[in-house]
Structure formats: C-alpha cells, structure tokens
C-alpha cells in the first residue's frame, strides 16, 4: 500500500520500531486475555501496522476489524520495557482505514451529522428519550432495560437513560460564586455528552462544588462533543477536526477548562497530537489542550483543597467505598492519587482499595458497541475485583466506565451501587 494511502500511519513509523516482541503485553491486554489471538494484542497489531507500511499487507475490512478490536487502555505501553505507544499507532491506522474504506454504517453518518451539531444531537436525544421511557422500564435512575421481546436488538444491554432535562436547561452560561464571595478564578466547564444529556445532575454537582470554592464557571453553549468516538474510536479525523475547531473556539476567556469526564479530558488533550494538520490548528489546539484539567486534578493540584473541603453525600455515610481507575484518567493522563485523596478524606465512610483497580472494564466507547460479547468477557474480570473489594459503592470518574459497571452489576445481580466522583461529594 502506498504511503499516500497511509498518510496518518507514516507519521508513527518510527514508533513501530520500539516494539521488542517480548510479549509482556500479552499478560495485560484485556482483548488478548479474552480471545488469545495474536493479532488482538499490541505486539500483533504492531506487526500488522509494519506490514501495511512495507506494502506486504493491504487495508481490508478484516484488518480494520482487528484495528478496531482494541480498548486503547494503554496497559500494553505501561508494561512495555521500551514503552511502545501501540494504541496511538492503532489510532493512526484506523484513520487511514476510515479514509480509504469509510466508517461503518450507521456510525459514520451519526458522527458526521450529530456530533458536529449540538442542537441536532439534543433534538435527536429528546425524541429517543421519549421512546426509551415508553418502552424501557427503569432499573434505576440512570439505566433502562429493554423489554424481553426486544432484547435481541441490544443483546440484553442496560442502556443509559436520556435525561428529561439537559444540563444546559438547568444552568446558565455563566454561574458565579455565592453572593458575597470573591471570585478567585474564571473556569470553563466541559460536560461532554453523557453529563449533559444523560447525567446532568453530575454536571450540576460539579458546577455547584466549583462555585462554592469561589470559582466563576462558564459553560459555553457553542461547545460540543469531545469527538472521542469519531476520531479516536473510528478514525474519522475529518469529523474530529470539525469538532476540535468548534471546541477550541468556544472557550476564549477562561483560566483553564475543567471536565468531570476522564474520556473527555484525555480526548481534548489529544487534539494537537492527532488532528493538527496545519500550523494554525497546531497553535489553536495546543493552546486549548494546555488548559484542560480533569476535575480531580483541578481540585487537588490547582486549588490545593484540604481534606476538610470534602464532605460525604448522604448516600455514602456508613458505607464501604472503592475506586475504579478509568484507563483514560490513570494511564493516559497519569491521574491516580488525586481521586483517591478525595475519597480517603471523606470521614463518614470507609475507603477500600479494589484489587486490580486499574484493570480495564471493557467499555472503551464504541468498542463495547461493536464487540459487546467481548466487552462483557473483559468486564467479568472487573466484576471479580468489585466483589472481592467487599465495597458497597464503586466510585469512578468516567461516565462510560460508570455505565459499563452498572450494566454488568445489573446483569450479574450484584448489590453494589456505582457513583461518579462528583456525586459522592455532599
């Protein structure tokens, strides 16, 4: 295959030489552990990328399937003696596959038309929410289960409920600190899709907590989806750039940009690495990405809040609490201790460290849509860790992980409740 057809992958050609073929990745790759297929592990995917680059292999649908069958958890890079960035090589190869063969229907259509138009996405979800509430009984406040006669459509999955009111209907574009409190900082808030359309109470909690610390919070209506599904998951870099242009222009006058979604935080920081195809975009995306902070990082590292700043929500009192590390927060962003410090500071509950807390839960965005059965197999290992912890409540900081944990806890009829980090703060 010509280098012109592999315009994204050739940028990572030197990285493909870092792999030593030692096989350490086979011990930690969640896909390989579930399937035991060499092309499913980082070492095998790197060999596929090298074969594409030297022309001994052509892009085709079977190869694209192997590229998509990766959770991008970064466990391989973490365990690799030479730190080979195979997930980034995989994303670049996905981009070339998407450009040559297109994104599979109907995902490509949805990404191009819905993720780049916030109003259209909101209207679509309002309609979907109407039918969802009519057809799907609620198993709790945030997930719904499709009736048995329709379960073949989604293989028994518990789906996120669309909220009756979206976050932008609940808060203004600017939320100031309480009357009489001096504003110490002006911060942008990026809720992402889940915390705007499905879990708006989490976004409201985040905004309220920040304003109580003297932060003026700006939630621009011009912002949109982070684009993770489009360009990191599907390799649709063209749509990714349209999304990045929108978001980079939406926050002109803020000190930093805070998000409570680990996936959003990671994705927004990746704009300059993958999508900056011109000097202008490199400058714009670089400036934007440099302002992004996950809320746990912001509270601990930027605001330097003490333990006394955090108090339990009523639901945590007397409970045992554990923490699940989202891959995007832990390995991609290196944020590990900050959320634990917050949880350990809560006085009226007991913190328990979960065994293998950083093990991938198998969600990985569209991965769990394409390969739900495989996603469930990966999640089973995480469920063993949840059970072994003996905790009553599992806390995380990624809405995707939250739904994956809820889906599998409900499926296995386990007693644990799943909460977002900002939900646990009273």
CATH of the domain at 314: 3.40.50
The partner residues of 256 in beta bridges, in order of sequence, read 187
What is the biggest distance separating any 2 CA atoms in the chain, rounded to whole angstroms? 69
280-313 in b/e form (b: 16+ CB < 10 A) is ebeebbeebbebbbbbbbbbbeebebeeeebebb
Domain-terminating residue out of 78, 98, 118: 98
Asked, for residue 134, whether it belongs to a domain, the answer is no
Provide the pLDDT for residue 321. 97
Asked, for residue 411, whether it belongs to a domain, the answer is yes
Q: For the chain, give the mean pLDDT.
A: 91
Domain-terminating residue out of 54, 74, 98: 98
Provide the pLDDT for residue 407. 92
Asked, for residue 391, whether it belongs to a domain, the answer is yes
In SS3 terms, the chain reads as CCCCCCCCHHHHHHHHCCCCCCCHHHHCCHHHHHHCCHHHCHHHHHHHHHHHHCCCCCCCHHHHHHHHCCCCCCHHHHHCCCCCCHHHHHHHHHHHHHHHHCCCCCHHHHHHHHCCCHHHHHHHHHHHHHHHHHHCCECCCCEEECCHHHHHHCCCCEEECCCCCCHHHHCCCEECCCCCCCCCEEEEECCCCHHHHHCHHHHHHHHHHHHHCCEEEECCCCCCCCCHHHHHHCCCHHHHHHHHHHHHHHCCCCCEEEECCHHHHHHHHCHHHHHCCCHHHHHHHHHHHCCEEEHHHHHHHHCCCCHHHCCECHHHCCCEEEECCCHHHHHHCCCCHHHHHHHHCCCCCEECCCCCCCCCCCCCCCHHHHCHHHHHHHHHHHHHHHHHHCCCEEEECCHHHHHHHHHHHHHCCCCCEEEEHHHHEC
Strands 143-145 and 158-160, sheet pairing: antiparallel
In Å, what is the CA distance from 19 to each residue of 86, 119, 387? 8, 44, 36
Provide the pLDDT for residue 314. 84
Mean pLDDT of 281-303: 97
Provide the pLDDT for residue 145. 39
Mean pLDDT of 314-324: 93
pLDDT digits (tens, 9 = 90+) for 200-225: 999 999 999 999 999 999 999 999 99
Asked, for residue 119, whether it belongs to a domain, the answer is no
Asked, for residue 107, whether it belongs to a domain, the answer is no
Mean pLDDT of 333-339: 97
Provide the pLDDT for residue 365. 85
Asked, for residue 142, whether it belongs to a domain, the answer is no
pTM for the structure as a whole: 0.92
Residue 42 belongs to what domain range?
Answer: 9-98
Least confident of 114-118, 152-156, 165-169, 264-268: 152-156
Provide the pLDDT for residue 343. 96
pLDDT digits (tens, 9 = 90+) for 44-69: 999 999 999 999 999 999 999 999 99
Provide the pLDDT for residue 151. 37
Number of structural domains, the chain?
Answer: 2
Domain-terminating residue out of 54, 79, 98: 98
* Percentage of residues in the chain having pLDDT higher than 70: 92
pLDDT digits (tens, 9 = 90+) for 63-72: 999 999 999 9
Q: Does residue 188 surpass a pLDDT of 50?
A: yes
Asked, for residue 82, whether it belongs to a domain, the answer is yes
Provide the pLDDT for residue 162. 86
Q: Does residue 134 surpass a pLDDT of 60?
A: no
Provide the pLDDT for residue 132. 60
Asked, for residue 225, whether it belongs to a domain, the answer is no
């Amino acid at each position: 295959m010509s280098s012109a057809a592999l315009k994204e992958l050739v940028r990572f050609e030197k990285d493909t030489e870092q792999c030593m073929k030692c096989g350490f990745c086979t011990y930690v790759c969640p896909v390989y552990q579930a399937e035991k297929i060499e092309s499913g592990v980082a070492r095998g995917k790197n060999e596929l990328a090298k074969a594409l680059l030297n022309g001994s292999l052509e892009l085709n649908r079977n190869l694209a399937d192997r590229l998509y069958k990766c959770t991008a958890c970064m466990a391989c890079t973490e365990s690799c003696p030479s730190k080979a960035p195979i997930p980034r090589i995989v994303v670049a190869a996905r981009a070339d596959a998407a450009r040559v063969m297109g994104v599979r229907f109907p995902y490509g259509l949805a990404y191009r038309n819905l993720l780049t138009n916030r109003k259209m996405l909101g209207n679509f979800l309002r309609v979907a929410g109407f039918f969802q509430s009519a057809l799907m009984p609620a198993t709790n406040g945030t997930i719904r289960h499709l009736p048995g006669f329709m379960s073949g459509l989604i293989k028994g999955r518990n789906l996120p409920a669309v909220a009756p009111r979206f976050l932008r209907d609940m808060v203004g574009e600017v939320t100031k600190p309480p009357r009489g409190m001096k504003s110490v900082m002006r911060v942008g808030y990026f809720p992402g899709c889940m915390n705007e359309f499905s879990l708006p109470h989490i976004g409201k909690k985040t905004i309220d907590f920040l304003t109580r610390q003297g932060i003026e919070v700006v939630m621009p209506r011009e912002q949109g989806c982070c684009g993770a599904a489009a360009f990191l998951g599907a390799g649709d870099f063209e749509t990714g750039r349209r999304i990045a242009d929108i978001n980079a222009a939406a926050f002109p006058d803020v000190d930093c940009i805070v998000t409570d979604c680990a996936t959003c935080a990671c994705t927004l920081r990746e704009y300059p690495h993958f999508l900056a195809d011109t000097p202008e975009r490199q400058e714009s995306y670089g400036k934007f990405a440099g302002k992004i902070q996950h809320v746990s990082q912001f509270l601990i590292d930027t605001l330097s809040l003490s333990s006394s700043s955090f108090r339990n929500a009523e639901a945590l009192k007397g409970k045992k609490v554990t923490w699940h590390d989202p891959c995007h927060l832990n390995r991609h962003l290196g944020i590990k201790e900050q959320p634990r410090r917050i949880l350990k500071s809560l006085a009226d509950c007991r913190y328990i460290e979960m065994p293998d807390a950083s093990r991938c839960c198998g969600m990985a965005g569209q991965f769990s849509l394409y390969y739900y059965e495989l996603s469930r197999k990966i999640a089973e290992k995480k469920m063993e860790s949840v059970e072994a912890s003996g905790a009553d409540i599992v806390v995380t900081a990624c809405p995707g992980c939250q739904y994956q944990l809820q889906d599998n806890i409900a499926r296995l009829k386990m007693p644990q409740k799943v909460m977002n980090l900002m939900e646990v703060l009273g």
